[in-house]
A and B are shown apart, each in its own frame.
Chain A
Amino acid sequence: MNSTEIIQLLQQQQGPALAAAVADGLHPHVVVPADRLMAVATVLRTDWRLRFDLLRCISAIDWPAKNTIELSYDLLATARGHSFAVKVLLDRANPRVESLRGIWPAAEWHEREAFDLMGVTFLHHPDLRRILLPEDWVGHPLRKDYQYPTEYQGLQLNP
């Protein structure tokens, strides 16, 4: 299925849940509200025409000007040979969204990474803690307004 057909199918099943859809270009995707993400992801995973069985990546992108943090879930259907992406836009001050670990277990580590580096809270995640940085690190480095620390455990750091 191509992106247009996937979007049509999603609109049939989840009509008002889709906030926006981009069918062509280099990164076709749909944007869904955070509270509808679980429902849309379930359709993407279970619908027999879609069958997105491989979660490739969860990318978190910080947009201070729009006051949002964007999460992009890139999906692949190995049996069908098509790919697609779902995006959610979260409030930058309090980014939180339902964890998709129950649908794609691969999300567990990707979500931990987004939590660690971008400060996104994933609700009902079984093990939400930092993954790449030390547990006592302060702040989320991939935020655009991240302040570089001057000291870590007695070590002087030069930016």
Chain B
Amino acid sequence: MNEIERHYRYQGDPLHEGEVPSDIRTEELTLNMGPQHPSTHGVLRVLLQTDGELVLKATPYVGYLHRCAEKMAEQVTYRQFTLYTDRLDYLAAMNNNLGFALAAEKLGAIEVPARAQYLRVIFAELNRIASHLVATGCYGLDMGAFTPFVYCFREREYVLDLFEAACGARLTYSYITIGGVREDLPEGWIGRCREFLDYLEPKITEYNNLLSYNHIFINRTARVGVCPPDLALAYGLTGPCLRGSGVPWDLRKAMPYCRYDEFDFEVPVGRGEQGTVGDSWDRYFVRLLEMIQSVRIIRQALDKLADGPVQAKVPRLVKLPAGEIYYEVENPRGQLGFHLVSEGGTSPYRLKIRGPSFCNLSILPAVARNCLLADIAALLGSLDIVMGEVDR
């Protein structure tokens, strides 16, 4: 660190200073939450400065899972990097594959066949359901409700079975590749998928009865960790975290890709039903509502699915022309962006990845200030971060 860098080190930021009334101040205690802690959802360390039960300051320390994805991208071919995208947000590998494939296709002006487009939508939405099921179940677990967790993972298992039947993998799919999808659906897959959708829909009501409208759960999450809409936008929150704050912004509606404009679906937003707009309960509930919308989209996409090729004619060694593109897709956790700079070779010159969890987590110091210690788990869980994507 040189002289100038040292000069611009942290000097105290008015945003983070505590404003606890002086009569309830006690001795301050520094508390370490994580990196191994069940409610940090991976290897996240949060340094908490506490005064009794109040959190004066929360400082997240990330990077424990840093695997140099951006540096590796410069050394592997485009097709090889698809496998690395699986490992970013490992709960939504299909969506990551899709984002990278779309960025590369836009830069290389590659046309994707219609059947592949609909298959992409189906798999992306199925993965959204699987990812939201994990978020819902784990959030219940964070709040002390064990049963919903087991139920959610039971349903997720059906999605993983569908994925396994289509591409052989249960977590790291690499199914959506540049030019289309890797292979066509196996026999009877569409019927199984429809069966699952019919099975899942009534389960959402079951979760509502079991968890969403449970008094203990509401008391733990409503009016907790409130992100007002302007604050959420300022910190670059996207996905259910932004929509939980009442901002109706969804890339699938606003800047449609992959023929999302052909489908009829709604964008659920937080309405402060149990407390304030943008509280943890809103963020949690938006995910449940999104699952219903995903079911709607998949049904329509299955109807539109016509015979045809699933791969465009793309050479095995993809070469993209010189140029650059910044492309974003709507992941379960928010907008996943790829800034792809090509110099015309077989590997990217530079690939910058914008992980939605990275931005969603950056709001933590601003919201956790003056929160109760026990509410940190409620706030962190409702942000639904995946450290693989934060650290890349």
Contact = CB atoms under 8 A, between A and B. Distances in A.
A2 to B, nearest CB: 13
Interface string B243-271: 00001010000110000000000000000
A131 B4 contact: no
A123 B8 contact: yes
A59 interface: yes
A26 B349 CA distance: 16
Contact of B62 (A83, A132, A141): A132
Nearest to A106: B236
B5 interface: yes
Contacts of B10: 126-129
Contacts of B234: 53, 104-106
B182 interface: no
Contacts of B335: 56
A121 interface: yes
A27 B339 CA distance: 10
A14 interface: no
B235 A106 contact: yes
A141 B71 contact: yes
A159 to B, nearest CB: 11
B289 interface: no
Given A121-B4, A122-B8, A128-B8, A74 B326 contact: yes
B4 A128 contact: no
Contacts of A127: 9-10, 13
B62 A131 contact: yes
A15 interface: no
Interface of B: 4-5, 8-13, 15, 62-63, 66, 68, 70-71, 106-107, 230, 233-236, 238, 247, 249, 254-255, 323-326, 328, 335, 337, 339, 341, 349-350, 352, 354, 358-359, 362, 366, 391-392
A-B interface, 3 closest residue pairs, ranked by CB to CB distance from nearest: A106-B236, A59-B352, A57-B354
